[in-house]
Amino acid sequence: MSTGEDTREVAFPHFEYIGGELTCDGVSLRQVAAEFGTPCYVYSKNSLIEKYHEFDAVFSHFPHLPHLVCYSVKANSNRSVISTFVRAGSGLDVNSGGELYRALLAGGDAARIIFTGVGKTAEEIAYALEQRALFLKVESFEELDVIDAVARRMGVRAPVALRVNPDVDALTHPYISTGLAENKFGIPWDQALPAYEHAASLPNLEIVGVDMHIGSQITTVEPFVEAASRLAGLFEILTQKGIPISHIDLGGGLGISYDGSPSATASELAEALRPVIESLKATIVLEPGRYLTGNAGVLLTTVQYRKNTGAKQFLIVDAAMNDFLRPALYAAYHRIQPVMLGDHRGEEVVDVVGPVCESSDFIAKGRTLPRVERGEVLAVMSAGAYGFVMSSNYNSRPRAAEVLIEDGRAVCIRYRETYEDLVRREPT
Ligand code: LLP
């Protein structure tokens, strides 16, 4: 991830210039901005569906290996987005009681919902059991005991998969790397067997799986292959020990290209995993998030001011770090394109910044862009994953609207917040 120069070509098949105007599946983004205002997230429903089918199809090529794709809701948890995946056939991976609530409201079938989380509360565990989620992933010895106790109280057996930490370097940004021994996630590799033995001794648990998730925005297949091989080894040992495992969950994490540099595809991932998983007798579970939604969305923002400080040319836009945190948090690179190509007067190097009172409030630094004027709309590309979901009300800024493009129409799927929304939960 870098703020870098905007030199590489990136293909966004669902976002094309038609007659000099950037469109999403044929719908003018200038018109979307005019109708719904900015900042505003826009998602292509066609792209979401295509990406799901692409991902699902490549794992259908293993004749004797059932699989279940569970869209990782945290990447984009708008109900319309979740229900798009549910209708396309996806299961769901949720990371909190709130995500489970959304998933169910969006039509998700609990029998295809898996519940993750390094710090589940007893209430969240009870909620997942009550709804009969497919399984809960367990991240510590102590959590095994808590789930067993909650299940006993409820008079049920809790289906669990132990998330093990395979201690593999995912070669990604340290903030989104999760499979190294130093990370808080999963049960340490050398404690995996004792954890399974402990789980097997608890009467209210039903062991159904092994699970891993090594990180996010992983652009090569090797870390997945290495980690999956370790998991496959564990699977064999558990089987020999008479602990039957019906699900092997390889997590999410497959990256996308933000800047045109190569990034492994789902098909490449499946092929690379083939020798490791082909002969396993279990259902393979996958939890893609970003791969399905990242390049399906953009953030529209309007230039408020041009400001030249002598040291720098700034474009001050109406989207800020509260709307879109990735650049501030990870120095993430997102391509920026003007919505109207127009008669731009050459190019310039700019910092694209927001109105929040922090110097880390930027969308791009030192970026070469066509010259744009006050009032023009820009599209921040690849904003469909970890965009709106990470937004906040910092600086008491109402959160942005979200719009879905479907069947050639722009449909508001989340209204822009109002000032009243900001204070709604505060007693007067
Ligand atoms: N499964 C588990 C257990 C996860 O923790 C995650 C993401 C996923 C699946 C989905 O990963 P994906 O396929 O989207 O990489 N906010 C960061 C990303 C954090 C990812 C957290 N876990 C970002 O903006 O890059």
Q: Which of 48, 70, 72, 334 has most ligand 1 atoms within 8 Å of CB, for mutation? A: 72
User: How far is it, in rounded angstroms, from Cα 102 to Cα 93?
Assistant: 11
Question: Which residue's entry shows tokens 């010259």?
Answer: 371
* DSSP string computed for 335-365: -EEESB-TT---EEEEEEE-SSSSTT-EEEE
Q: Tell me how far the alpha carbon of residue 7 lies from the centroid of ligand 1, in angstroms.
A: 27
Strand bridging mode 347-353 / 21-24: unpaired
Which ligand 1 atom is the nearest neighbour of the CA of 116?
A: 3
User: How far is it, in rounded angstroms, from Cα 128 to Cα 126?
Assistant: 5
Please provide the CATH number assigned to the domain covering 46-293.
3.20.20.10
Per-domain residue ranges of the chain? 15-44+295-423, 46-293
Please report, for residues 99, 119, 121, 155, 272, the alpha-carbon distance to residue 95 in angstroms, rounded to integers and kept in the order given.
6, 10, 11, 24, 28
Measured distance between the N- and C-terminal CA atoms of the chain, rounded to whole angstroms: 44
Strand bridging mode 27-28 / 40-44: unpaired
Would you give the distance in Å from CA 344 to the centre of its chain? 35
Low-confidence ranges of the chain (pLDDT < 50): 1-5
User: How far is it, in rounded angstroms, from Cα 17 to Cα 28?
Assistant: 9
Q: What is the DSSP letter of 424?
A: T
Write the Ramachandran bin of 329: left for phi over 0, alpha for psi from -120 to 50, otherwise beta: alpha
- What per-residue confidence (pLDDT) applies to 231? 96
Q: Which of 290, 299, 324, 334 has most ligand 1 atoms within 8 Å of CB, for mutation? A: 290
User: How far is it, in rounded angstroms, from Cα 252 to Cα 389?
Assistant: 17
- Kindly report the protein residue whose alpha carbon is nearest to atom 24 of ligand 1: 386
Q: Tell me how far the alpha carbon of residue 215 lies from the centroid of ligand 1, in angstroms.
A: 7
Residue 70 is a catalytic residue: no
* 211 pocket-lining for ligand 1 (C-beta < 6 Å): no
According to the CATH classification, is domain 15-44+295-423 in 2.40.37.10?
yes
* 75 pocket-lining for ligand 1 (C-beta < 6 Å): yes
Which listed residue (40, 70, 357, 412) is catalytic?
A: 357
- What per-residue confidence (pLDDT) applies to 3? 42
Q: Tell me how far the alpha carbon of residue 214 lies from the centroid of ligand 1, in angstroms.
A: 9
Which ligand 1 atom is the nearest neighbour of the CA of 294?
A: 14
pTM above 0.85, yes or no: yes
- What per-residue confidence (pLDDT) applies to 173? 83
